[in-house]
Structures are given as C-alpha cells and as structure tokens.
Amino acid sequence: MRRYFQSVRWSMMLWYGLILLVLIAGLCLLAFRLAANDKTDQIDREIRGFQGTFFRALFASKPVEKKNEKKSDMDEIRERLRNPGDVSAFPPELHALFSGEGGGCYLAFWDADGSPLFVSANAPEGLTPPVQATDGPPRYVEKKNFREHHRKGSDGISSIIGRDISAEQGDLVRFGLLLALGGGALWLLGLSGGWWLAGRALKPIDDIGLTATRIAAGNLDQRIEIANTDNELGRLGRVLNETFDRLSDAIERQKRFTGDASHELRTPVTIILSETQRALKREREPEQYREIIGTCRAAAERMRALVESLLILAKQDLPTVGAAHVPCDLAEITAGVADLLQPMADEHATKIERELSPALLQGDPHSLAMVVQNLLSNALVHPPAGGIVRVRTLLRSEGSLLEVSDSGPGIPAEHLPHLFDRFYRADSARGPANGHTGLGLAIARSVVESHGGKIEVESSPAGGTLFRVVFPAAS
C-alpha cells in the first residue's frame, strides 16, 4: 500500500480527489443551502399571507359595528379573536382552524396576561405564548416539523402562527440525498477521469523508466519510443535518447578500446609464456637461455611501450591533470625532436627538411614534443626509405602551426577518418614489429585537443601525406 502512495499517479490522484471532493461538497452544500432558504422564505411568506387572510376573514365575518369610542382597536381585535363568529362565514381554506383537521397553518393568540384569545383547533398541543421581550421584532422559530412566526406586540397580544413543514422537510431531505448522490457520482466520475488522464500523462514517463531500466540491464540499443509530439515529455524523451546514444557510443568505444588493448597485450604475454615454458622443459646451453631471455625481453619491452602509451592516453583523458602550461616555442621543440630522430632518418635514408620559424604557444613542452615525435617518426618509418620529410612551424593568424609532410605513397582515403582512432593501423602489415603500438596518432590527437588545438591529415593517392596541427596562439 505504501508503495502505491509513493507513486506519482497515486499521490496526484490523492490530491486531485481531495480538491475535487471539497469543490463538489462545497457546491452541493451551497445548492442545498439556497434551496432550503428558498423553501423557508416561501413558508414564511405563506405564514404571513395566512395571517392576513385570517384577519381579513375575521373582520369580514362580522361587520364592524359603529365605532365605540370606549373600545380601542385592540380591544376590538381581542373581542373578535375571542369570538370569531360563524365558521361558515370564513373562506374554506380557514375551516381547518376550527375543525381541527390536520395540515395547513394554525394560529394562536394570547392576551397580555397569558390567557388564550384564540387557539386554532388544528394547533399542536401544548402551544404556549412566545417568550420574548415585549416589542421585540417578530421571530421565526422552527421546532421539530413546525415553523412558527412568534410575535409579542406592544399591545400585549402575543401570537404564534405556524405551519407543519414536514412535507417541505421531507422534500429537502430528498433533495439533499439527491445532491449527495449526484455529487458522489460526479466525484467518482471525476476521479476515474483524473485516473485516466494521470495515466495518460504519466505513460511516457513509465515508458522512459522502462527503457532506462532495460538500458541499465545492459541492453544498450534500447531507445524511448517518442510519439510525434513536441510537448515537455516528447522533448525529454528526445534529450534522453540523445544522451543514451552518446552514452552507448562512449561505452562501445571504451569496450572496443579495452578489447583492443587486451588484444595488443596478449601477443607479448603469449610470447613470454611460451618462451619460458619452452626454456623450462629441459636443460639448455647458456646460449639458448640467452636467446630465450632475449625474446622475452623484447616482448616485455613491447608491453612496456604499450602500457606507457595507455597511461599517457589515460592521463590525457583526465580533464585537469597534466603539467602546467607554460609559454613555449613550437620551433624549438620541433628542432629538438628532429635532432633526436636524426639517427632514425639516417637509418631510413630519409632527409628531414626543416622550416622552423618561431611559433609561440601556451603548453606543456613534454607533451608537445611527444606530438612532434609521433608525427615525425611516423613520417620517417612508414613511407619507403629514401624520401624527404618536411617539418614546418610558423605563426599564422589562426595560431601556431606545425606541419609534417612526407613524400611517401600516401594513405588510402578509406583509412583517413580512422587514422586517429586508438589502435587503428592503416596497414596491418606494419604490425607491432617496428615498435608501433597503434596509439601514436591517438596520443597526438589527445594532446593537441587538450591544448585546445586540432589536428588534420591530408593525403592523396598521388603521393604525400601532410599532418597539420594548429594550436591557438599564446595570448
């Protein structure tokens, strides 16, 4: 049960039901109140009208005698009340007053001393003169199923004119019941409508939740089905779908990267394992042991290079970690690296042409040197021996520029978009044999991007590959 009240739908329904209940109950009460007041007013008017009819009949039944000076009007009234005269002279609607039949109005008059002047035969038993201050305003009093008009005049005559209102009361009770039933039905209708609406409004959220659950369970291809609406939920769904896309891409990339890394590490591990197993199988000559250990060492070196590259990449991936950026000159860094790689160039009979003009930027000289070294050694190793590698640094309006180009056969167009991907090798024949881990360009891009720059490659089948790196100029 608690679970139900924690659901949005249920809590929405709870509040909605409460508000709807208060509204409907208020409206019903108001209607009831108005109807009751209307009824009461009507009864009161009737009572007052009855009183008038009675007095008119009273005075009509016996013509007024010549005015007796001694007798005041009130005494005349008293007299007439005590002795109303011939019943038949009264209009038929007043006959009940004398016959004692039920229904209709009744009335009673008392003198100042409390003695009854006239009590109609149909008056309820035990009717007593009204208790109230003399000259007070007339009052309407309701007791049980009677409504009475109480009056105590300054002349001492007090009166009660009343009426049995049980029929009206019955009507009101029936009306009240009808209102309650109608209101209840309306409330239930409103509730079910609200339930349906809430369900309809929350359905997309449920879908989103369900999809997210499936994604969390590892089903990364799941997406939220969005109806063609541009409402809040449609937009939320789209935003979430885009987020899921990016997340699954990232996870996929990470997976591939981890897979590639373990794949790359497996071969050297295999070499070390199989060589050591071989070595341990039997006693050998020192020369053989040396050879086996040499092979193991070469495999271990390869693993070290790979692990180092992975570490560099991992460091570059962290947003804030890394050496502090200091002002440095790309030309100086490039010259240093070119000097370092000169023996490699000689080995490949490749000439390094330098066009180094100062190109200042803010950066980490060590990482930048790594970029230059990766680009330059790629240009030296991959193209056939005997070519020319040109390195250029210069300052342009868009920033500091580094270009490394070779005169090799070029890279086929289908490889270009993937060239900076981790572990991507344009030609698998190059393999790990020449000490390349397949991470050099990925590291270069990572470093360049962490410096706010960008790296591009241009290559044509006609020959020549150009790597261009642009760093934002030092401010």
Partner 1 sequence: MRLLVIEDDPLLRHSLTEGLREEDYAVDAAEDGPEGLAKASDAGYDAIILDGMLPGFDGWELLLRLRREKATPVLMLTARDAIPDRIRGLDAGADDYLTKPFDFDELLARLRALIRRSSGAGSNLIEIGEITVDTGGRTISRNHEVVSLTAREYRLVEYLAYHRGSVVSRTELYEHLFDENEDTLSNLLDVHVSNVRKKLGASFISTRRGHGYCIE
Q: What residue ranges bind partner 1 (CB under 8 A)? A: 259, 262-264, 266-271, 273-275, 277-278, 281-282, 295, 298-299, 427-429, 431-433
Min dist. Cβ of residue 401 to partner 1 (A): 35
Min dist. Cβ of residue 428 to partner 1 (A): 5
Closer to partner 1 by Cβ: residue 51 or 274: 274
- Answer yes or no: are the C-beta atoms of 82 and 116 closer than 8 Å: no
Measure the CA–CA gap between 80 and 55, rounded to whole angstroms. Answer: 10
Closer to partner 1 by Cβ: residue 271 or 335: 271
Measure the CA–CA gap between 277 and 191, rounded to whole angstroms. Answer: 78
Min dist. Cβ of residue 345 to partner 1 (A): 24
CB atoms under 10 Å from CB of 347, counted, come to 12
Tokens for 49, please give them: 């009208």
Min dist. Cβ of residue 269 to partner 1 (A): 5
Measure the CA–CA gap between 331 and 285, rounded to whole angstroms. Answer: 53
Closer to partner 1 by Cβ: residue 62 or 415: 415
Closer to partner 1 by Cβ: residue 180 or 298: 298
Q: How many residues in the chain?
A: 475
- Answer yes or no: are the C-beta atoms of 116 and 107 closer than 8 Å: no
How far, in Å, are 363, 401, 470 from residue 324 at the CA level? 7, 21, 20
Closer to partner 1 by Cβ: residue 363 or 438: 438
Q: Where are any strands of DSSP class E within 310-461?
A: 326-329, 351-356, 360-363, 388-396, 399-406, 454-459
Min dist. Cβ of residue 425 to partner 1 (A): 10
Q: Which amino acid is at 401?
A: L
Long-range contacts of 61-66 (CB under 8 A, 24+ apart): 61/85, 61/86, 61/89, 61/90, 62/89
Closer to partner 1 by Cβ: residue 174 or 253: 253
Closer to partner 1 by Cβ: residue 275 or 421: 275
- C-alpha dihedral sign at 274, 280, 282, 283: positive
Closer to partner 1 by Cβ: residue 201 or 279: 279
Measure the CA–CA gap between 435 and 210, rounded to whole angstroms. Answer: 49
Closer to partner 1 by Cβ: residue 167 or 280: 280
Min dist. Cβ of residue 424 to partner 1 (A): 13
Min dist. Cβ of residue 442 to partner 1 (A): 19
Min dist. Cβ of residue 395 to partner 1 (A): 42
Min dist. Cβ of residue 444 to partner 1 (A): 24
CB atoms under 10 Å from CB of 195, counted, come to 16
- Answer yes or no: are the C-beta atoms of 325 and 298 closer than 8 Å: no
For 53, counting Cβ atoms within 10 Å of its Cβ (0-12 exposed, 13-18 middle, 19+ buried), the class is middle
